[in-house]
Amino acid sequence: MKRSSEDKMSHATVWMWGDDLEAVRVNSEKYVSKRWRETIKECVIGITGRERDEGTIFYLTAYSSNPEGIGDLAERLLNVALNLEGDVKVDFVTILLSDHMNSGKELYRDDLEHVEEEYERNKRILTERFSMDPRVKTKSGGREIIVVPEMSLKCELDSDYASKIITDVVDFDFQRVKNFIHSLSKNLIQEGLAKNIVGYKLFIDTERLEIENISIHKDKVYVRLATLLS
């Protein structure tokens, strides 16, 4: 198994950037046939990647209880990710074998209207909080303050091919996040990997967000907020 690594949590990276595309199927099948035990309830395939023209981070997760189809599923998911528009880099395809049904916990059932309301609500909370920050006050000089929080939008998709597929997009730009998750979901459905979108959930960690950058552009002060590495 070329470039496959494993750790105690029973997960292995079966493909990484620079590997031959065919390796993902071969390595996934080898790993599953070697590691699947009776106690295993579910296999989770995780794809970590980024669109580098705009810097949008994305994750794809598929859950399956059928050990036979893992290689094919991993290969098709990787193809969907690599064929997205823009300069896409997929860093890793990783497989986790679990004694639990993890997919049951992944429920994202809001509609887009609710997501948009949530976004506005969070922005209001954050604007209130960060307008008082001395660093913002110093720079603002009476200008309008726009908070730009980093967010993650998750989307749950129904699938005949897997138990469930989750897409997860991370960026500062709400419109870009929505567009990107729409392309991902559309491609998954077009490729026959997913049937339909079940719903969405927006994550903005208002408690943990900190100031990453403050900039002034066209008489507005933009305060970029993110979870910083401690």
Stretch that binds another protein, among 88-96, 107-115, 132-140, 153-161 (CB under 8 A): 88-96
Contact residues for 48 (Cβ-Cβ < 8 A; gap 6+): 59, 90, 91, 92, 94
Site residue total, another protein (CB under 8 A): 54
E strand intervals along 52-122: 56-64, 88-98
| Residues in region 13-52 near another protein by CB under 8 A | 13, 16-18, 21, 44-48, 50, 52
Amino acid (1-letter code) at residue 8: K
Nearer to another protein, 13 or 185 (CB): 13
Among residues 136, 170, 193, 202, the one that binds another protein under rule CB under 8 A: 170
List the Cα angle 61/105/110 in 5-degree steps: 85
Q: How crowded is residue 218: how many other Cβ atoms within 10 Å of its Cβ?
A: 7
What's the DSSP call for residue 82? H
* Cross-strand partners of 147: 223
| Contact call for residue 186 and another protein (CB under 8 A) | no
| Residues in region 129-148 near another protein by CB under 8 A | 146, 148
* Cross-strand partners of 154: 168, 201
Among residues 27, 28, 61, 159, the one that binds another protein under rule CB under 8 A: 61
Nearer to another protein, 111 or 141 (CB): 141
Nearer to another protein, 111 or 204 (CB): 204
Distance CA 160, CA 219 (A): 51
Q: How far is the CB of 95 from another protein (least distance, A)?
A: 6
Cα 100 to Cα 40, 96, 105, 108, 170, distances in angstroms: 7, 11, 10, 19, 27
Distance CA 172, CA 149 (A): 6
| Residues in region 192-221 near another protein by CB under 8 A | 210, 212-213, 215, 217, 220
Residues interacting with another protein, by CB under 8 A?
Answer: 2-3, 5, 9, 11, 13, 16-18, 21, 44-48, 50, 52-55, 57, 59, 61, 79, 82-83, 87, 89, 91-92, 94-96, 146, 148, 150, 152, 168, 170, 172-173, 176, 210, 212-213, 215, 217, 220, 222, 224, 226-229
